[in-house]
Amino acid sequence: MPVKTKKRKKTKVFGIAQKKKAPQEKVRADEVLRLLGQGATFHSQGHLLQAKETYLTVLHHVPGHADANHMLGLLALQAENPNAAIDLFRNAIVSNPKEAEYYNSLGIAFKDGQRPMEASINFKKAMALNTNYKEPYLHLAALNIDSGDFSAAEHCLKSAADCFQDDAQFWLRLSIVYIEKGDIEGAYSNIVKLRAFYKKGYAEFYGIELDVIGVSNEDAKKLYAIGRVFEDFKEQRYASLCFAKAIVIDPDFRFSYERFSRACSSNKMFDADSDNYRLVEKTLLACLERNDIGLDGLVKSVLFYSGMENVDAEINAFHSKKGSEDALVYLITNNALLNALTAPLFLLLLNKTIINDIAIETLLCRVRKIMLLALYSSGGSVCSLVERHLLALVAALAHQGFWNEYVYDVSDEENTALVKLKPLIIEKYRNQDEFVLPLLVLAGYQSLDTCPELKDLVLSAQRCNSTMANSNNNMINSNLIIDNNEMLDSIIKLHIEQPAREREMAKNIRQLSKIDDVTSTLVRQQYEENPYPRWASIQQGYPKPIEVQLRMDVYPNKPQNIVVAKSSRVLIAGCGTGKQPIQCATNYADSSLLAVDLSLASLSYAQRQAKSMGVDKIEFMQADILNLVQLNERFDVIESMGVLHHMKDPLKGLGVLVRLLKPGGLMKIGLYSELARKNVVRARELISEKNFSATIEGIRACRQAIMKSSDSVLQSLMQWPDFYSSSMLRDLIFHTQEHRFTIHQLRNIFEMFDLEFLGFVSNSSLDKSNYVQQYPQDPGALSLDNWQLYEEIHPDCFAGMYKFWVRQRKTN
């Protein structure tokens, strides 16, 4: 039976008035149900327009239908239109005032519409109508937490936790309330309760972790443990807060910095003006000053906490200034934009990581360009105001350029100005004029190592400047000299000294045998020109038995009889610039490593980094995988990530590695997925169609073409971090040799080499708990048939490539 409705005002759906049509004909109740079901299916599949149409059809047949109004309200919430949602939920309640879910939804709409009082009233109504309904308790508690009323939140959650003993969410939220209140004991006792029925995640490994990280302060340890559980429950914001608080208690607690930076990578931010905001901001700064933690994931958080996200209007105004001079004046006179661009957090970010954000890249390109053109048109001098305000930013751009390997677009106008800039710098130096600013501007376009005419000059200037600073020359502002000196020193170290040290080290790297395979020679050339990847900081692990690392990687599989010898030998086949072997060396206790690669430039970068980090258990060697049998050695563990697919015949390469394994040895392999790399295939087509070369100019031109393209497949490449540096983009889409695989092929390969599949390794795109939910009959997540189906539905889940562990079955 259609629901009878009273005469009501004309309603609006998402702000559009519903036409007041008379119901055309009476429809049967089962037809209404069918339509609602169909709408819900569209809705859950993300076909929101069809869902909306279907719900509207129900309303057309049965004006005021409660469920149809409710579902439309949920759509409005999804469309971030809380006011429309409020009207629709109210319509639903008029038709059916006894349904708790409608009040709960109305509460959410009020909350989203920044009307907390009304939200609270409606959550309470929902709780009163149905005492077994959990949602309103959670929402009311979240509302109280957001408004800082922790006692109310605690009261609400405690009463819910009594009713819903077996629901982890309440213990989790209670821990959050205690963290907010600064009650570490309270939070920890709830986490202990949470763990009692905690079935998923890595909790079983935390004990090992806490044993080895060696923190003596109990509170710091507890906060760390709470943070780890929050991480598993995807409460990243509070996880980062726990790690930040642990750092306050023990500033030497390296693992808390590490986990803080990981948690921040997918963080919802805290409100400005809150203590939590200030604590996270301060901890971010402390993280950026370290080299022993991964910093790549911090970009989004730093952009938020440095205020960059609040200056959109100023950035637009800056871009709207047509002439360079106007833009420069705007930049140094607009405090909001200037403060964001010169915030210590933002400058450190530029100095240490690659910015993977197109809008910020566009802004930085313009800043770099107006500085260059201002210098060009003024004969190399700009007013001291510009120098004072922008010197640090220009120096940071010179760092950023080095890290992204000068991937930013350069216009003809800039190229012309650059040609003139070099002699200007030399002239200024000879005339003892201030030359650091123009030099740093140039270093934002090109590594000083590639400017022979400037290299000697820069080094002697460095000596001379330090003498001047020491003698505290009265003629020149001594603060400026010291600042300039520091900036010059750090650029010289990055652009000139480190590459020089690598060239020296390359002379002493052992070569196994001559590299003469045709494909290996071509691949080697690519990585000699662009060693992959250029990096500054690294996620160092903590030493644990290899077996434990493997178990963490392949979780939820729990393989039997994993035995790794004490003092194990590990081979890293294709070690690149050292990230992978250094991470292994810091993670694998009681092991020694041999790391081989084709490219001497990559190996020497790796060796310099290992040395600077005090990692001394890796031997680096130049070798082709094809020739590794000449080593006359066998290994307990072999890792080859992202390498075999760059060989002419990857299976030949794999065959060599399998032969190098000790009986029962373990292998961790990374191979490209065909399904995940559809955008790469499209880009490779674009490259051959437009004839883009694998040079810096070709890479820049191709990037611009992708940025301007309306093809969404191509555009999706901009979501990948590899889009933001020359060596990474070359590796991604310009590779001289690339194979891609399917899971079906993986299964055949495992059979061919008699390898036991132990499990895929999780990464940011692969959430194995999602797979297990979908395939509960495969709790170890080992069925390759299921994985094949899963990947078809989630084609991006192996975007970081298939990474997996296998074990040799045969004993030989």
- Binding stretches for ligand SAM (CB under 6 A): 520, 523, 527, 532, 574-576, 579-580, 596-599, 602, 624-626, 641-643, 646-647, 731
Q: Which is nearer to ligand SAM, 404 or 580 (CB)?
A: 580
Nearest to 621 by CA among 573, 580, 689: 573
Q: Can you list the alpha helix ranges (DSSP code H) found in 45-149?
A: 48-61, 66-78, 82-95, 100-112, 116-129, 135-147
Q: Which is nearer to ligand SAM, 434 or 624 (CB)?
A: 624
Q: How far is the CB of 586 from ligand SAM (least distance, A)?
A: 15
Q: How far is the CB of 659 from ligand SAM (least distance, A)?
A: 15
Q: How far is the CB of 624 from ligand SAM (least distance, A)?
A: 5
Helix 436-443 to helix 358-378 angle (10° resolution) is 140
Tokens 């209670």 -> residue: 174
Q: Which is nearer to ligand SAM, 394 or 606 (CB)?
A: 606
Which strand (E) or helix (H) includes residue 229? Answer: helix 218-232
Q: How far is the CB of 111 from ligand SAM (least distance, A)?
A: 44
- Give DSSP secondary structure letters for 424-484: HHHHHHHTT---HHHHHHHHTTS-GGG-HHHHHHHHHHHHHHHHHHHHT-TTS-HHHHHHH
Q: Which is nearer to ligand SAM, 494 or 626 (CB)?
A: 626
User: How many helices (H) and strands (E) in the chain?
Assistant: 39, 10
Q: Which is nearer to ligand SAM, 359 or 629 (CB)?
A: 629
Q: How far is the CB of 353 from ligand SAM (least distance, A)?
A: 16
Q: How far is the CB of 628 from ligand SAM (least distance, A)?
A: 8
Q: Which is nearer to ligand SAM, 177 or 523 (CB)?
A: 523
Cα(741)–Cα(802) distance, rounded to whole angstroms?
9
Q: Which is nearer to ligand SAM, 136 or 574 (CB)?
A: 574
Q: Can you list the alpha helix ranges (DSSP code H) found in 250-357?
A: 254-264, 275-288, 299-305, 312-320, 324-333, 335-341, 344-352
Q: Which is nearer to ligand SAM, 302 or 647 (CB)?
A: 647
Q: Which is nearer to ligand SAM, 438 or 650 (CB)?
A: 650
Q: How far is the CB of 523 from ligand SAM (least distance, A)?
A: 5
Q: Which is nearer to ligand SAM, 599 or 726 (CB)?
A: 599
Q: Are 52 and 75 in contact (CB under 8 A)?
A: yes
The total of other beta-carbon atoms located within 10 Å of residue 547's CB is 16
Q: How far is the CB of 617 from ligand SAM (least distance, A)?
A: 18
User: What radius of gyration do the chain's Cα atoms show?
Assistant: 30
- Cα separations in angstroms, 751 against 52, 165, 186: 49, 47, 52
Q: How far is the CB of 602 from ligand SAM (least distance, A)?
A: 5
Cα(40)–Cα(48) distance, rounded to whole angstroms?
10
Q: How far is the CB of 409 from ligand SAM (least distance, A)?
A: 25
Q: Which is nearer to ligand SAM, 250 or 738 (CB)?
A: 738
Q: How far is the CB of 301 from ligand SAM (least distance, A)?
A: 24
Tokens 């995807």 -> residue: 234
Q: Could you say which DSSP state residue 596 is in? A: E
Cα(781)–Cα(519) distance, rounded to whole angstroms?
36
SS3 sequence of 605-661: HHHHHHHHCCCCCEEEEECCHHHHHHHCCCEEEEEEECCHHHCCCHHHHHHHHHHHE
The total of other beta-carbon atoms located within 10 Å of residue 41's CB is 13
Minimal CB distance residue for ligand SAM: 576
